[in-house]
């Protein structure tokens, strides 16, 4: 499944996945925000599997990446949205805090 999700992410980068326009749940991956259901359901279609709800799509995504950041993002076209430098640093700060919580006694 993870290989299929990565292929769908590539397809989204190229604008080949139809994305409903407006505010949708999205996940951050490699400096971009992707529409959660659109990417996961594209991946499932390629594998001839049944489409998932947003909640189930999130579970499928967890198999690909341990850290998942979900946000409501306004999509206006069929491409992922680039994260700003400030957004990237904010994610790094969150991850640093999570790591500190794991290693502290």
Residue pLDDT, tens place only, 20-75? 899 999 999 999 999 988 998 898 887 777 666 667 777 777 777 777 888 999 99
Answer for the pair 49, 5: CB distance below 8 angstroms, yes or no: no
d(CA 55, CA 36): 9
Average pLDDT over residues 84-100: 92
Q: Look at strands 32-35 and 70-75 and give their pairing.
A: unpaired
Q: Where are the domains of the chain?
A: 2-103
* Its pTM surpasses 0.85: no
């Amino acid at each position: 499944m993870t290989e299929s999700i990565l292929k769908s992410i590539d397809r989204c980068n190229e604008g080949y996945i139809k994305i409903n326009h407006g505010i949708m749940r999205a996940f951050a991956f490699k400096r971009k925000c992707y529409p959660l259901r659109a990417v996961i359901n594209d991946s499932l279609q390629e594998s001839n599997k049944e489409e998932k709800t947003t909640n189930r799509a999130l579970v499928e995504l967890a198999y690909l990446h341990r850290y998942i950041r979900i946000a409501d993002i306004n999509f206006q076209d069929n491409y992922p949205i680039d994260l700003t430098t400030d957004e990237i640093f904010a994610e790094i700060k969150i991850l640093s805090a999570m790591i500190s919580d794991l290693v502290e006694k």
